[in-house]
Amino acid sequence: MNKKDYVDAMNEIHPRESLKKETFNKITQSKKRKYNKLYPLMSAAIMVAIIIGIGVPLHNSHPLNENKIEAGKTIETVTAEGLPKVENFENLYAMLTKIDNSGGLLYGNSVESMITNDATNSTDSSKQEASEEYSDTNTQVEGVDEADIVKTDGNYIYYLTKNNLKIVDAQKMSVMATVEFDETDFYSSELYVKGDKVIVIGNRYENGRKEYSIDSMYTDIMYAPGTSYTVIKVFDISNRAKPQLARTVEIEGYYLSSRMIDNDIYLMANKSIYAYELKNKDIDELDEKDYKPKYKDTAISDEIKYVEFQDMCYIPNIETANYLNIVSFDVTNNEKANVDTYLGAGSEIYASDKNLYITRVIYNYEEENNYREYETSTEIYKFNLVEGKCNFDKAGEVPGGVLNQFSMDENGEYFRIATTSNKDWDSENNTNNLYVLNAKLEIIGKVEGLAKGERIYSVRFMGDRAYMVTFVETDPLFVIDLSNPTNPTVLGELKIPGYSKYLHPYDETHIIGFGERTKVVNYGYGDQVITDGMKMALFDVTDPNNPKELYSVDIGERGTYSELLYNHKALLFSKEKNIIAFPISVTEDDYEVTFQGAIVYGLNLEEGFTLKGEISHIEEGYDLYKSGNRVNRIIYINDKLYTLSNDLIKVTDMNTMEELDHIDL
């Protein structure tokens, strides 16, 4: 099987949209091998060649080889004391020399920031009376915050734009301060706000340090990859006009995801290990420091520190040269950050207020008579979240591959997960499943084999029910009863054209689907299903045995696009304020862009969807494709809508949809 076939197969699994690119090495030829799916994160601003490893089985005498498990079983090598330790460099060398990895090239330098005060009055106005009500980031779990590019506390807007942090007085519509980051040193991606602290998350890069001669027809020199760090910058904003950098915490690796619960932040990063040296040198020729993840916490010291081998754990059956690094700390004090390292990368995460679950999709291959068969499964690693610490608890496995964070849920002592099972590279063999696991991550209930030939496009868990959307030509919405954890049961199914890529609760018996309209066309070589604009629908699940599409609205034609289709944080929804808003680029008439901005709807059970208005930052006659004017987010404070693009913040009356004010950034 060639590289293209493998990539096509990966696309059938539908990995996360927010990960910009995936690159895969050619699968090595071997019988009965098991390969790991890797999700390297690519920065849009910096060219990065990711080191990717496709695993090979370890020697029978190696301890990892004794840890083979069957899908649906807990991982037996995980003891009461936790995962096994790497212990020393000799063990790491033995593990990694059995893994086939290729090199890569990373770019970057150090990180600095400059703070400029844009407000004419630098008096601290943070103590003014708080706004009555304001929107929060659209998150999956109540009480578990997720980072985004914008936050508000009702008085101020904190916004990352053009690699700057803007602090804006929302009532006076003035920029209080700008924190400028040099993108060659630090590239910001997301932020949190907690009281008088703004926490900015981003990446920085250091250039490679060594050269290696390689046998190649294109080049004589191969550079060792540089070092990528995920960086957390904590700013003191007790005076909004003069934010001060209070603390920097950084860890080697590419940013995977993060959560904040109360004052505690939990961040995950994947670090690729450069294995070229390991494959071409004896262990006594190597510097073991090069294989220890580096980290820094300026609350303790400006010195770069290393994670020691005796403090590292490894995930059983690990077959890729990667570290999963987890950093956690209380952002309101200067106590030392907790740093935990695991040999083995993660891909998707789900967090409740008590536990963190990290998954990785794996591929189980067998070859007979020169024909390679495979099946997917998902390994799940559970960590307890206690007072800012992330403690490993249990590990388990379920058949099939997980789509995204919304495919997972915790309800009481039970963990629920929906997967798509893939087999033999043929999507016609796909089936979809839902599993219920107990606190030990043992499967105690399941429903399998749903919608053969299709794959999951969206899932939403709501209490004792799960809603699952699969798709190939029509959109089956399955309603699954989870009130008996040992016997999940499909109650009803609704088939309609199109599909929902994100499901959002409206109330206990209604759910909103955001997705794409589809149609069947024939260009002379058989029927094909193509997208034909966005679709928004309200599903009535009052009678779970007979779900209905109560209302729907079509937006634009083929090529219409919204970030909401792959990022739930782009949605603004308030049932109380009767507001649904999201950024959108509308195309009509053969891909002609006719609108770019925010689209605002109302929704009630009596009338359905009502278009309230459209908000654009693009002046008449200007290029609709200009990125600086593209609306990125919509928030509200009281009865005002704030739309944010890279160059502008505009204020609109929520009731009349009239523009009230704007500020040029």
The DSSP string of 130-165 is: PPS-B-----SSTT-B--BSEEE-SSEEEEEETTEE
The pLDDT tens digits of the residues spanning 233-247 come to 999 999 999 999 999
- Spell out a b/e string for 526-543, using b for 16 or more CB atoms within 10 Å of the CB, else e: eeebebbbbbbbbbbbee
pLDDT of residue 334 exceeding 80, the answer is: yes
The per-residue pLDDT for 175 is 97
Which residues lie closer than 8 Å to 376 by C-beta, 6 or more apart?
13, 361, 362, 363, 364, 399, 400, 401, 419, 420, 421, 422
Residue 353 pLDDT grade (very low, low, confident, very high; cuts 50, 70, 90): very high
Sign of CA dihedral 447, 318, 52, 367: negative
How many Å apart are CA 292 and CA 303, to the nearest integer? 15
The per-residue pLDDT for 208 is 61
The DSSP string of 321-386 is: SEEEEEEEEETTS-PPPEEEEEES---EEEE-SSEEEEEEEEEEEEEETTEEEEEEEEEEEEEEEE
Asked whether residue 241 is assigned to any structural domain, the reply reads no
Residue 475 pLDDT grade (very low, low, confident, very high; cuts 50, 70, 90): low
pLDDT of residue 423 exceeding 90, the answer is: no
The per-residue pLDDT for 619 is 78
Span of 80-84, 174-178, 189-193, 215-219 with lowest mean pLDDT: 215-219
From the CB of residue 651, how many other CB atoms can be counted at a distance below 10 Å? 18
Query: In this predicted model, which residue has the larger pLDDT, 317 or 131?
Result: 317
How many Å apart are CA 323 and CA 338, to the nearest integer? 16
Domain extent, residue 580, equals 568-665
Instruction: Give the predicted TM-score (pTM) of the model.
Output: 0.83
Asked whether residue 627 is assigned to any structural domain, the reply reads yes
How many Å apart are CA 406 and CA 287, to the nearest integer? 42
Asked whether residue 127 is assigned to any structural domain, the reply reads no
Instruction: For residues 415-436, give the mean pLDDT.
Output: 87
The pLDDT tens digits of the residues spanning 194-205 come to 999 999 999 999
Asked whether residue 293 is assigned to any structural domain, the reply reads no
Residues, the chain? 665
How many Å apart are CA 412 and CA 387, to the nearest integer? 20
- Spell out a b/e string for 422-436, using b for 16 or more CB atoms within 10 Å of the CB, else e: bbeeebeebbbbbbb
Asked whether residue 584 falls in the same domain as residue 654, the answer is yes
* 511 touches 523 (CB < 8 A): no
Query: How many Å separate Cα 204 from the centre of its chain?
Result: 19
Asked whether residue 532 falls in the same domain as residue 603, the answer is no
Asked whether residue 550 falls in the same domain as residue 587, the answer is no
Asked whether residue 551 falls in the same domain as residue 572, the answer is no
Span of 39-43, 324-328, 412-416 with lowest mean pLDDT: 39-43
* 628 touches 164 (CB < 8 A): no
Query: In this predicted model, which residue has the larger pLDDT, 436 or 210?
Result: 436
The per-residue pLDDT for 410 is 98
The per-residue pLDDT for 220 is 45
The per-residue pLDDT for 375 is 84
Q: Listing from the earlier edge strand, what are the strands of the sheet with 633-637?
A: 633-637, 640-644, 648-653, 659-664
Asked whether residue 549 falls in the same domain as residue 462, the answer is yes
3-state SS assignment for residue 243: coil
Instruction: For residues 457-466, give the mean pLDDT.
Output: 96
Asked whether residue 618 falls in the same domain as residue 641, the answer is yes
Asked whether residue 251 is assigned to any structural domain, the reply reads no
pLDDT of residue 76 exceeding 60, the answer is: no
The per-residue pLDDT for 555 is 96
The per-residue pLDDT for 70 is 41
Query: How many Å separate Cα 66 from the centre of its chain?
Result: 32
Span of 93-102, 133-142, 379-388, 584-593 with lowest mean pLDDT: 93-102
The per-residue pLDDT for 362 is 84
Asked whether residue 517 falls in the same domain as residue 578, the answer is no
The strand pair at 313-314 and 338-343 is best described as parallel
Span of 340-349, 488-497, 527-536, 626-635 with lowest mean pLDDT: 527-536
Query: Which of 231-245, 351-365, 366-380, 469-483 ranks highest by mean pLDDT?
Result: 231-245
Asked whether residue 537 falls in the same domain as residue 600, the answer is no
How many Å apart are CA 153 and CA 156, to the nearest integer? 6
* Domain total of the chain: 2
Q: Which two tokens stand for residue 631?
A: 């609306």
Query: How many Å separate Cα 570 from the centre of its chain?
Result: 13
Instruction: For residues 113-139, give the mean pLDDT.
Output: 60
The pLDDT tens digits of the residues spanning 614-665 come to 999 987 655 666 668 899 999 999 999 999 999 999 999 999 999 999 999 9
Which residues lie closer than 8 Å to 215 by C-beta, 6 or more apart?
none
Instruction: For residues 485-507, give the mean pLDDT.
Output: 93
The per-residue pLDDT for 369 is 61
Instruction: For residues 586-593, give the mean pLDDT.
Output: 86
How many Å apart are CA 611 and CA 657, to the nearest integer? 11
Query: In this predicted model, which residue has the larger pLDDT, 649 or 452?
Result: 649
Instruction: For residues 280-290, give the mean pLDDT.
Output: 88
Query: Which of 17-21, 61-65, 154-158 ranks highest by mean pLDDT?
Result: 154-158
How many Å apart are CA 402 and CA 380, to the nearest integer? 10
How many Å apart are CA 111 and CA 250, to the nearest integer? 11
Whose tokens are 């995980």? That residue is 78
Asked whether residue 490 is assigned to any structural domain, the reply reads yes
The pLDDT tens digits of the residues spanning 529-579 come to 777 899 999 999 999 999 999 999 999 999 999 999 999 999 999 999 999
Asked whether residue 595 falls in the same domain as residue 531, the answer is no
Asked whether residue 505 falls in the same domain as residue 592, the answer is no
Calculate the average pLDDT of the chain: 81
Tell me the percentage of the chain whose pLDDT exceeds 90.
Answer: 60
What residues does 386 pair with on adjacent strands?
A: 389
- Domain ends where: 513, 534, 555? 555
3-state SS assignment for residue 217: coil
The pLDDT tens digits of the residues spanning 369-399 come to 666 677 889 999 999 999 889 999 999 999 9
How many Å apart are CA 152 and CA 170, to the nearest integer? 9
Residue 265 pLDDT grade (very low, low, confident, very high; cuts 50, 70, 90): very high
Asked whether residue 577 falls in the same domain as residue 656, the answer is yes
- Domain ends where: 523, 555, 587? 555
Asked whether residue 477 falls in the same domain as residue 500, the answer is yes
Span of 226-230, 290-294, 622-626 with lowest mean pLDDT: 622-626
Asked whether residue 35 is assigned to any structural domain, the reply reads no
Query: In this predicted model, which residue has the larger pLDDT, 290 or 643?
Result: 643
Asked whether residue 493 is assigned to any structural domain, the reply reads yes
pLDDT of residue 460 exceeding 80, the answer is: yes
